[in-house]
Amino acid sequence: MMGRTFRLVAFILGILASSLLAQQRPLTNADVIKMVKGGLPESVVISSIQSRSGKYNTSPDGLIALHTAGVTQGEMDAILASGKVPGTVAAPTSAAVTANPSAANAAANTAIHGHLPRVALIQGAASQPLPLEKTQLAQTKTKPSSMGSLAKDSVVTQGMQSGINTATTGAAMHMNSSVAGSSVQEAGNIFGGMMSHRKPSLTYVWGVPNPASTTILKTSAPTFSVDYSSTLGVNPDDFEPAIVKLTPAQNTCRIVGATQGKEDAQASPAADWQIYSSFLEERVAVNAQKVKSGNYKVSPASSLMPGEYAVVLRPISKTKKFSGGDVARGQGDGLLFDAVWSFQVSADAE
């Protein structure tokens, strides 16, 4: 009897020791990819990177492999920043990388950014790049009847303003990882109810932080070049550029659009969400000239009134299906749908 008890205690101590060692083991590229593939929010992944020592491959090939796997720019920035923390080791792949890791990281970031969609304002023979902005995603029980009603919804504006995402224990433990289980916290976009057995329809609202764009145009008839031909993980022929009018909401954000979906839609990895089939937005009529696949010149069909606008990318087929997980994380098709290049047409625009 005593021997059996001793073996049981030893077994339990062994499990605890293994768990402790797993928590102390430095994170690797594979660990980050595992968290991403498991559907953890960006904020949770970044927190894990920042709170644990790491042994990462930050060579150009290593960073590009992370990007291809769906690791976001914010997560890669955290990996690169962790290289400055004692105990964190970057794994170079050549003597040149070892000799100049900063140059290697810069080259990798250049390569990664080269695959992101880009928009520029055409001004004669010159062009002015517009910054790619990351949309916030909020949810509310208010039906998407009009942009004005959503702009008045305090739940939406509070969600956009706080930018908080409640990552549930269940979502984290789905990773079957001690890292995931110990890293659950509040951060990111506003979501909730992942563990609910009932899946009622909610309204998902896309919004741009800040009440106004920093890009102010003095012309009411701008022309933009749009290039998403090299975006990883997407078929550029599935999308087309568009211009939408943004709706300012209680001096906190600008609403881009909204649609309905199941309560756990943003957590699903399956591509079964027809986001655009009944998407509410104020789309502006445009003239779009296709230069090549994923490369357009686009301009409004008529002069724009003063106000807030954005260049966006929209599926050509309204029945195109998206993975809610990709939309929530802004990767693959979700990256294109979430992408926003906002601008303001000034009151004295000509």
**32 and 48 share a domain?**
yes
The domain in which residue 236 lies consists of 121-345
Same-domain check for residues 106 and 132? no
Whether 280 is covered by a domain: the verdict is: yes
pLDDT of residue 160: 73
Residue 82 lies in a domain: yes
Is residue 225 located within the same domain as residue 309? yes
In the numeric block, which tokens belong to residue 216? 């102010």
Q: Quick one: the chain helix, strand, coil %, rounded to 5?
A: 35, 30, 35
In a domain, 350, yes or no: no
Mean pLDDT by 10 residues, the chain (350 residues): 54 51 74 84 82 82 78 81 50 41 50 74 89 87 85 79 40 31 30 41 89 92 94 90 94 90 81 92 95 95 95 95 86 91 92
pLDDT score of 3: 56
Identify the pLDDT of residue 114.
Answer: 55
Residue 277's pLDDT is 92
Same domain for 169 and 109? no
Q: Are residues 307 and 216 in the same domain?
A: yes
pLDDT at 266: 77
Q: Which of 79, 113, 147 is the last residue of a domain?
A: 113
Residue 293's pLDDT is: 94
232 plus 151 within the same structural domain: yes
The residue out of 96, 113, 130 marking a domain boundary is 113
Q: 17 lies in a domain?
A: yes
Confirm whether 58 is domain-assigned.
yes
Q: 212 and 98, same structural domain? A: no
Number of domains comprising the chain: 2
For residues 181 and 171, give the distance between their C-alpha atoms in angstroms, rounded to a whole number: 9
246: in domain: yes
Please tell me whether residues 59 and 75 are part of one structural domain: yes
Q: Check residue 170 and give its pLDDT.
A: 29
pLDDT of residue 92: 41
